[in-house]
Chain A
Amino acid sequence: MNKKIQYTEETDLRGVPCPANAARIILKLESMDEGKILKTLIDEGEAYENLLSSLDEDGYELITSAKKVGGWEVFIKA
């Protein structure tokens, strides 16, 4: 399903500690045109949970996410 999502930007933030990982994603989203899609990879566990919370607090739409080996693949609308 994720293969069909057309994204314009991509980041890999696995290994980046909280909250810098979420902060970088938010900064990336702020730099993108509204409606464009960001694909990001982030560590599982607290990093992923904190990202969901940050997106919610900052009003960004999570399109979909899927658990992958070594983390989560997340698609977010800017």
Chain B
Amino acid sequence: MIYLDNASTTLPDSSLINFSRRLYSRVFGNASSSHRVGRDASKEIEKAREIIAGSLNAHADEIYFTSGGTESNNIAIWGRFLASKKINPNIIISSVEHPSVYNVAQFLKRMGVEVRILPVDSGCSVIVDELTKLISSDTILVSVMQVNNETGIIQPIRKIGSICREREVPFHSDACQGFTKEPFDVKKDLVDIASISSHKIHGLKGTAALYLKRGVKLANPFQGGGQELGLRPGTPDPIGIAAFAFASTIYKPEDYKKVQNLRDYFMNNLIKYPAISLNGSASNRISNNINIRIKGLTAADAARELSRRGVMVSTGSACSSSKSEPSRVLISMGLSEKAALESLRITLSVHTEKKEIDLVSDHIFDIMKKLL
């Protein structure tokens, strides 16, 4: 099996599995319990908080553990909405945000919040100049992802952060795709709130974090026992959290240079065929992502045939019922519905090997020969 769907999720690193296995035998307490077993669990969580904070150049008390990137994004947006005292609030999000941002914004729209959409260009980069036109004194949050989950395009978050600071509007960035793969420093990047997730970086599912800059106000969207200072109440998983911190130390952006070289080799191999074109800009793209259109071949057919051959890739569309829905991200870049439905996302990992890439290239060309 060749797994090339690493933007969806990653294989937990073997060193992390060993690390977690050792913890399972001795850490099981409820971190709220004051006895020794509880303290042991709490120690693991606090140690992890320090490590995660260090990886973002943040303070430990600015890190809140959650159950996933989706939960982090929800807390960021709901938290700002609930904390806002504006009579006519608006939020600004890009047109290519993950559903856990985009759909929350659409939900808030039904509650009277004005949602302003920041467009992207044909390369999938947010048009920063538009932000200065959209931002106002009633803006309660700007949310733009660090790296797009479908095209892998790295967004100009520092420029966005700079505009937000100038206008004193909190800036949230969903950094789940880019965390540990691309440099990310909440101070330098001028980010006030950020979401990061463990399973995207060879950690375990069910653990993520929210960075919240000191002084930025979020109201608690959940009510409960007060864990994570009330932002995310509920018994935390000390092993998942410790594993998240461990995962954040395994690979650094430097380790992805090798991935980028392999990706470039693969991408150049593919796009030399006239029927294949790259979606999104070739530069400014995260090291492991290729998003291609194979003209005349639906992504569903291509992905299904690749799966039969043991190659796992992703389509941007959602098979919800009888009709495939084209990717909102690709459509907002200006692709036609047909082109979007012909688009495949291939995402490598640090474990991907050249021989696998060569084999997958051969499979794709063979499938094209048979199905086109």
Contacts and interface: CB of A to CB of B under 8 A. Distances in A.
Interface in B110-124: none
B30 interface: no
Interface string A27-46: 00000000000000001111
Residue in B307, B318, B319 whose Cβ sees the most chain A Cβ within 10 Å = B319
Contacts of A18: 319
A71 B322 contact: yes
A69 B324 CA distance: 18
Nearest to B325: A46
B307 A45 contact: no
B351 interface: no
A43 B307 contact: no
Contact of A56 (B308, B317, B320): B308
Given A53-B308, A57-B307, A57-B308, A43 B322 contact: yes
Contacts, number: 37
Contact of A47 (B307, B317, B321): B321
Contacts of A57: 307-308
Interface residues of B, number: 13
A3 B308 CA distance: 32
Given A46-B300, A49-B300, A17 B308 contact: no
Chain B contact residues, majority secondary structure: mixed
Nearest to B320: A17
Contact of A44 (B301, B304, B317, B322): B322
A35 to B, nearest CB: 25
Interface in A47-78: 47, 49-50, 53, 56-57, 71
B321 A53 contact: no
B323 interface: yes
A46 B307 contact: no
Contact of B304 (A14, A43, A49): A49
A50 B322 contact: no
A45 B304 contact: no
B304 A53 contact: yes
A18 B323 CA distance: 12
Interface string B306-320: 011000000001111
A51 to B, nearest CB: 10
A47 B323 CA distance: 9
A49 B303 CA distance: 12
Interface of B: 300-301, 304, 307-308, 317-324
22 contacts: A14-B321, A15-B321, A17-B318, A17-B319, A17-B320, A18-B319, A43-B321, A43-B322, A45-B319, A45-B323, A46-B300, A46-B317, A46-B319, A46-B322, A46-B323, A46-B324, A47-B322, A49-B300, A49-B301, A50-B304, A50-B319, A57-B308
